[in-house]
């Protein structure tokens, strides 16, 4: 048992390099289970404009001086240090009503997201400050004018307004892509659980890993902050749709076209497949998943299952199985080991959920649970915001309204029957756009139809079945590498999704110029840019000596029929187009036997490789390999190999080098084109 040692204190904001208190009357924040005062909060009178200025003038420039890899390593150091301090966060987290498992999602899930971005950032982004987006667009026939999209970090501040349910994860999942992109952030946690965010921010600031101005905190109301945003700022919001709509229409946000990402209410659905009848593995998995989603974080998750759709004939068994499971959930003070589910975040939140259950009762009847009389194993029934799981059943979902409209943000779900996949999809759509839906089925046809029908209405879809039962991350878990967000009512935003979210904090710009100039600007060689051929083979140059545009044009080699036959028998690739003259001739693409594509690639390597030990350490692949013209016996090949991009590793003594490899024939026609990827030592 982790008994939290909590003394009530006034939370502070971190404003322009100083910890500061509001000048107004602080509001008490209560422990969700005991009602004891945990902290006081107030941010009135703080200079919000100064915060924005500080981020823009101090944090932004410091971050933009760093490369993606330097910033990724910064996130790694931060994640590792926070992980070491995690028990302190766990101890305070119980006051929010979170059990150890709930806190794990919030604390270690959040820190894990930082670490995931740290490693993905180094794998998927260059060690540079500009990101190249897509391929070069040739804009002239003679290769004298081209276009290239690039991404550069926005020069403003990202303001993250977060919800009460994930005081750590909510901050870190947005902070990771923001900082990786090179943008500073101002965090505004929801007041109710801001003490935990404040503690984590205190530790982050004290670690001194982030440059000054990269992170600021508002403990309390944002005051006039949003009135000062401009086109270089970003605002993200997680919370209720009503607040989100209000903020989105703030005049400064509208007039300056400020990027606004919203993640709001969501009436997420779970669909039991027609094949998943009682007794099947999918039925059991479904019951487990719905019960888990209702009870983890006491159902206070934006991704929790609110609507459960089951075939008519499975409803009775489902109600029974779910009911059996839910009544066993031990509700109590999360500081005690006996509790499997904690209270809601506050008494006000419980009042709100009770009211929403009443709304749902317009369409549905309660089949499990009593919202007004909590049964608990520990904690204070009067002062704690306890609510046992409540399961409702709505018999006529097609004509019902409230079940598709009302989000009871607690351990509450409604079961509804359906007939066909079209019915189930139509009902799911009544949620007007959701973050996630899950389908439990072992039937590939049903799975395919469900994904097709639900896709446009959801940001994420999970198909649960026996094959993924052990490894599935579950309906309710947003993951760093996958998109989190949904259309319509879910806010229309998109977070996470790996490097996709980093780009939300950058501006995409199409740059047009002469290729040589464009190469200089982007750091990537392209056709038409300058080349340098000297007496030293580029493979003999270390990373320190190698330059973009360094080129070798090889000797020529003629491909013979014997070469092709030898390659065929040696590799076993005796495809008719290489072996059977008549059959090859009958093929619409060939005029007789042709060389294997991989023979061309192999001969090319034989032509461009400089064999002696040297700075080139390994060839780790090729990208974008295309065979453009057939090679017939008697054709003569030559390779032009040009250094295209150099990516030195931050912490290693080597880097990656991308080479443009063009194989042409005796008529100077390109027969194959690809990028060769090598690792090259920084020094000889
Ligand atoms: P709110 O929308 O009231 O609050 C969300 C965030 O916005 C908080 O940080 C809040 O700060 C802030 N905020 C509120 N008003 C303003 C304003 N005028 N200007 C700037 N910031 C503002 O949601 P709640 O947290 O109160 O939750 C209410 C309901 O929202 C829940 O019952 C649930 O239905 C839904 N919700 C949905 C979530 C999701 O992830 N989809 C998550 C949490 C809630 P402060 O706390 O200081 O008011």
83 three-state secondary structure: helix
Distance of CA 490 from the midpoint of ligand 1 (Å):
14
Tell me, what's the pLDDT at 335? 87
Instruction: Give the H or E element holding residue 661.
Output: strand 654-664
Mean predicted confidence (pLDDT) in 212-217: 98
Q: How much is the pLDDT for 380?
A: 86
pLDDT reported for residue 379: 87
Tell whether ligand 1 has an atom less than 6 A from the beta carbon of residue 302: yes
Regarding the beta carbon of 265 and ligand 1, being less than 6 Å apart is answered yes
- Å from CA of 22 to ligand 1 middle: 20
Residues 279-326: tens digit of each pLDDT: 999 999 999 999 999 999 999 999 999 999 999 999 999 999 999 999
pLDDT for the residue 5:
43
CA distance 654 to 679: 7
Identify the DSSP state of 192.
Answer: G
Average pLDDT taken over every residue of the chain: 95
The CB of 222 under 6 Å from ligand 1? The reply is yes
Closest atom of ligand 1 to CA, residue 263: 41
The stretch 371-375 carries a mean pLDDT of 92
- What are the catalytic residues? 263, 302
Three-class DSSP labels, 391-427? EEECCCCCCCCHHHHCCCCCCEEEEEEECCHHHHHHH
Ligand 1 pocket mutation, candidates 32, 163, 241, criterion most atoms within 8 A of CB: 163
> Ligand 1 pocket, 161 CB below 6 A?
yes
Hey, whose CA ends up nearest to atom 9 of ligand 1? 190
For residue 550, count CB atoms less than 10 angstroms from its CB and return exposed for 0-12, middle for 13-18, buried for 19 or more. Answer: buried
CA of 71 to the centre of ligand 1 (A): 30
Q: Residue 20: pLDDT above 80? A: yes
How many other CB atoms are there within 10 angstroms of residue 624's CB atom? 9
Whether 20 is in the pocket of ligand 1, judged by its Cβ within 6 Å, is no
Would the CB of 418 count as within 6 Å of ligand 1?
no
Can you tell me which atom of ligand 1 is nearest the CA of 264?
A: 41
pLDDT at 422 over 80: yes
- Mean pLDDT within 210-235: 97
Tell which residue, 209, 164, 212, has the closest CA to residue 188. Answer: 164
With a pLDDT cut of 70, the percent of the chain lying above it is: 99
* 190 Cβ inside 6 Å of ligand 1: yes
Ligand 1 center to residue 323 CA distance, Å? 31
Region 240-266 average pLDDT? 93
Distance CA 7, CA 37 (A): 8
Q: What is the pLDDT of residues 100-116, one digit of tens each?
A: 999 999 999 999 999 99
Q: Is the Cβ atom of 369 under 6 angstroms away from ligand 1?
A: no
Buried b (16+ CB within 10 A) or exposed e, 574-607: eeebbeeeeebeeeeebeebbbbbebbbebbeeb
Q: What percent of the chain has pLDDT over 90?
A: 94
Condensed to tens digits (0 to 9), the pLDDT of residues 522-539 reads: 999 999 999 999 999 999
Write the DSSP assignment of 300-343 as a string of letters. Answer: --TTS--EEEEEGGGHHHHHHHHHHHHTT--B--TTSTT-SB--
pLDDT of 382 higher than 90: no
CA 241 – ligand 1 centroid, Å: 8
pLDDT band at 459 (very low <50, low <70, confident <90, very high): very high
Q: Which of 56-70, 129-143, 172-186 is the least confident region?
A: 129-143
Tell me how far the alpha carbon of residue 272 lies from the centroid of ligand 1, in angstroms. Answer: 32
pLDDT digits (tens, 9 = 90+) for 463-516: 999 999 999 999 999 999 999 999 999 999 999 999 999 999 999 999 999 999
Of the residues 169, 193, 239, which should be mutated to test ligand 1's pocket, given the most ligand atoms within 8 Å of the CB? 239
> What residues form DSSP beta bridges with 41?
27
Q: Is the CB of 298 under 6 A from ligand 1?
A: no
pLDDT in tens, 632-645: 999 999 999 999 99
Instruction: Report CA torsion sign: 282, 284, 288, 290.
Output: positive
- Residue 351 structure tokens: 């009042």
What is the distance in A from the centroid of ligand 1 to the CA of 43?
17
Give the pLDDT confidence score for residue 4 in this predicted structure: 43
């Amino acid at each position: 048992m982790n008994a939290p040692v909590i003394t009530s204190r006034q939370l502070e904001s971190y404003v322009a390099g100083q910890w500061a208190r509001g000048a107004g009357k602080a509001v008490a924040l209560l422990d969700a289970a005991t009602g004891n005062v945990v902290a006081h909060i107030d941010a009135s009178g703080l200079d919000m404009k100064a915060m924005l200025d500080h981020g823009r003038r101090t944090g932004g420039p410091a971050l933009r001086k760093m490369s993606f890899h330097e910033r990724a390593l910064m996130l790694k150091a931060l994640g590792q240090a926070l992980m070491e301090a995690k028990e302190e966060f766990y101890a305070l987290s119980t006051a929010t009503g979170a059990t150890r498992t709930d806190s794990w999602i919030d604390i270690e899930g959040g820190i894990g997201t930082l670490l995931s971005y740290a490693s993905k950032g180094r794998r998927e982004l260059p060690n540079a400050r500009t990101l190249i987006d897509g391929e070069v667009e040739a804009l002239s026939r003679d290769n004298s004018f081209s276009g290239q999209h690039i991404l550069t970090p926005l020069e403003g501040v990202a303001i993250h307004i977060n919800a009460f349910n994930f005081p750590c994860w909510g901050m870190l999942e947005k902070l990771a892509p923001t900082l990786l992109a090179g943008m500073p952030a101002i965090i505004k946690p929801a007041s109710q659980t801001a003490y935990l965010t404040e503690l984590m921010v205190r530790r982050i600031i004290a670690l001194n890993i982030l440059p000054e101005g990269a992170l600021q905190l508002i403990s309390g109301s944002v005051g006039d902050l949003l009135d000062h945003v401009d086109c270089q700022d970003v605002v993200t919001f997680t919370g209720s749709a009503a607040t989100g709509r209000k903020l989105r229409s703030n005049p400064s946000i509208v007039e300056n076209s400020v990027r606004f990402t919203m993640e709001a209410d969501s009436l997420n659905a779970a669909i039991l497949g027609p094949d998943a009848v009682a007794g099947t593995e999918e039925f059991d998995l479904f019951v487990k998943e719905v019960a888990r989603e209702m009870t983890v974080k006491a159902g206070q998750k934006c991704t929790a299952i609110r609507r459960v759709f089951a075939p008519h004939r499975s409803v009775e068994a489902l109600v029974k199985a779910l009911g059996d499971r839910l009544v066993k959930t031990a509700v109590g003070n999360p500081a005690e080991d006996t509790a499997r589910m904690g209270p809601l975040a506050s008494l006000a939140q419980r009042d709100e959920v009770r009211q929403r259950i009443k709304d749902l009762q317009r369409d549905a009847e309660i089949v499990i649970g009593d919202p007004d009389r909590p049964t608990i194993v520990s904690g204070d029934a009067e002062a704690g915001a306890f609510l046992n799981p409540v399961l409702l059943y709505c018999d006529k979902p097609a004509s019902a309204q409230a079940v598709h409209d009302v989000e009871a943000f607690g351990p509450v779900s409604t079961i509804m029957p359906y007939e066909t996949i079209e019915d189930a999809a139509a009902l799911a759509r009544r949620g007007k756009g959701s973050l996630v839906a899950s389908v439990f089925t072992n039937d590939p046809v049903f799975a395919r139809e469900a994904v097709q029908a639900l896709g446009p209405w959801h940001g994420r879809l999970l198909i649960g079945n026996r094959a993924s039962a052990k490894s599935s991350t579950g309906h309710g878990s947003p993951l760093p590498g996958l998109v989190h967000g949904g259309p319509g009512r879910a806010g229309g935003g998109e977070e996470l999704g790996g490097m996709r979210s980093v780009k939300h904090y950058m501006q995409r710009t199409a740059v047009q110029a002469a290729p040589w100039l464009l190469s200089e600007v982007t750091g990537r060689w392209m056709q038409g840019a300058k080349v340098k051929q000297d007496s030293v083979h580029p493979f003999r140059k270390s990373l320190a000596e190698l330059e973009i545009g360094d080129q070798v044009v090889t000797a020529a080699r003629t491909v013979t029929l014997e070469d092709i036959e030898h390659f065929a028998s040696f590799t076993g690739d005796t495809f008719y187009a290489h072996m059977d003259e008549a059959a090859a001739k009958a093929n619409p693409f060939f005029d007789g036997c042709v060389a294997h594509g991989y023979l061309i690639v192999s001969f090319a390597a034989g032509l461009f490789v400089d064999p002696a030990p040297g700075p080139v350490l390994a060839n780790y692949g090729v990208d974008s390999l295309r065979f453009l013209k057939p090679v017939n016996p008697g054709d003569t090949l030559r390779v032009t190999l040009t250094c295209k991009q150099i990516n030195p590793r931050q912490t290693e003594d080597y880097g990656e080098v991308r080479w443009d490899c063009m194989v042409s024939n005796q008529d100077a026609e390109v027969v194959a084109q690809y990028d060769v990827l090598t690792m090259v030592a920084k020094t000889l």
